[in-house]
Amino acid sequence: MLGLAGKSPALVWVVNLSALLLVVLWTIPTFGIFVSSLRDRDAISTSGWWTALSASEQSLVARAGAPDDAQQVGGAWVVAGSVFEDGTTGDVTAFGSRAQDPTSNEPGEPLVLRDDGVLEIAVNGDYTITYADQPEGRRGARIFYTTEVPPTVTTENYEAVLSSEGVAQSFLNSLTVSIPATIIPILIAAFAAYALAWMQFPGRIMLVAIIVGLLVVPLQLSLIPLLKFYGVVGEAFGVSAKGYVGIWLAHTGFGLPLAVYLLRNYMAGLPREVIESARVDGATDFGIFMRIVLPLSFPALASFAIFQFLWTWNDLLIAKVFLGQSDNQMVLTGRLVELLGSRGGDWEILTTSAFITIIVPLVVFFSMQRYLVRGLLAGSVKGG
């Protein structure tokens, strides 16, 4: 592994095993979300995703035919049908006539009902209720049964989410929020990081300490004060506080401490000889920054871009505070929360929505992940 040359074999094994553990811990839940998104609601609620390739046992209820529909067969009256008339398939493993004991009988074993009818169910779900005398009644008996349902794969969950009204617009709204909210703090932080790393001015060390301190400030503490401040400023300029400009500035403010910290550490670790040679040749600070420092700092820029984009794309809290709830402002996370319902019990929608939301961050991460470790570790040993 890069950076471990000359290290002890034990350390190499620890690093490799730790990396493998992190990969497994990240991959298994993601794979589980994907598998669950391809299952129907009943399968998700009755068994885990790791049983998706095996038959699952479900407890269901069916309504038998009305006694008035009984047909005379020989000297008896018979009501016949199938518990799978709703389109489901499977094998019946047990059945009963009461909710308190839905597995009292096995297939083929007769069960006496309250109206003196004798219920028998075959493994394939076909049932017969036999009466000695002609029965009366328009409401059939309830049949509780347990069945083994074969594994199924469905795309109905994705069709339900993607075809929901407003999802496409919310996807564009999320991009409208995330892209500028990633670019703006990078532009500001790059200039600030260069100044803190290579320019000498009074209070430079104190500014670095303040920036590090801002990393531990919970953003929840500043949401309402910021919104009130935006409201005052927006009222003065005739602009609504709840809009894209407000959320761009909010994400920029919350992301700047980490951006300046990462970029400053990286730029401070660049070869001092290169910077000094450029200054001897008459280059200005702006020219050194644009032609030397900025191109060499691309790994750090990419590292922060990954973190910032992931944060802004998955954000719901800041979007709720700084954006309205109209269709042209609601982000994708907010739209998917609405699809879950008030109680959040639609698990099939939840898993499908989760996998849809991580597709774009996955593309961003894998396209820039080669710069991630270089950007994070740069400047960790030496600094300006």
Residue 83 clears pLDDT 60, i.e. is over it:
yes
Same domain as 247, residue 137: no
- CA of residue 117 relative to chain centroid, distance: 52
pLDDT top residue among 67 and 347: 67
Same domain as 144, residue 62: yes
Does 228 map to a domain? yes
The residue whose two tokens read 């009366």 is 136
The boundaries of the domain holding residue 111 are: 56-149
Boundary-marking domain end, from 92, 119, 149: 149
Identify the band that residue 343 occupies on the pLDDT scale cut at 50, 70 and 90.
low
d(CA 7, CA 64): 73
Does 24 map to a domain? no
Same domain as 76, residue 44: no
pLDDT top residue among 309 and 150: 309
Identify the band that residue 1 occupies on the pLDDT scale cut at 50, 70 and 90.
very low
Does 17 map to a domain? no
Same domain as 313, residue 229: yes
Average pLDDT over residues 197-217: 86
Average pLDDT over residues 122-149: 87
Residue 188 clears pLDDT 90, i.e. is over it:
yes
Assess contact for 241 and 229: CB atoms under 8 A. Answer: no
Boundary-marking domain end, from 93, 128, 149: 149
Same domain as 198, residue 285: yes
Same domain as 178, residue 316: yes
Same domain as 180, residue 70: no
pLDDT the model gives residue 185: 93
Average pLDDT over residues 102-130: 89
Reading across the β-sheet that carries 56-63, which strands appear in turn?
A: 56-63, 142-149, 91-96
Same domain as 282, residue 365: yes
Provide the 10 A C-beta neighbour count for residue 298: 15
Average pLDDT over residues 52-72: 84
The residue whose two tokens read 């871009």 is 305
E strands, the chain, in order: 56-63, 71-73, 76-82, 91-96, 111-112, 118-121, 126-131, 142-149
Same domain as 68, residue 45: no
Domains: count for the chain: 3
Does 2 map to a domain? no
Does 14 map to a domain? no
DSSP string for residues in 74-112: TTEEEEEEETTTTS---EEEEEESBTTBTTSB-TT--EE
Tell whether pTM > 0.85: no
pLDDT the model gives residue 380: 45
Residue 218 clears pLDDT 90, i.e. is over it:
no
Does 13 map to a domain? no
Does 5 map to a domain? no
Same domain as 180, residue 143: no
Contacts of the segment 44-52: beta carbons below 8 A, 24+ positions apart: 44/347, 44/348, 44/351, 45/347, 52/151
pLDDT the model gives residue 381: 44
pLDDT top residue among 13 and 179: 179
Same domain as 177, residue 298: yes
Same domain as 234, residue 163: yes
Does 3 map to a domain? no
pLDDT top residue among 370 and 344: 370
pLDDT top residue among 52 and 197: 197
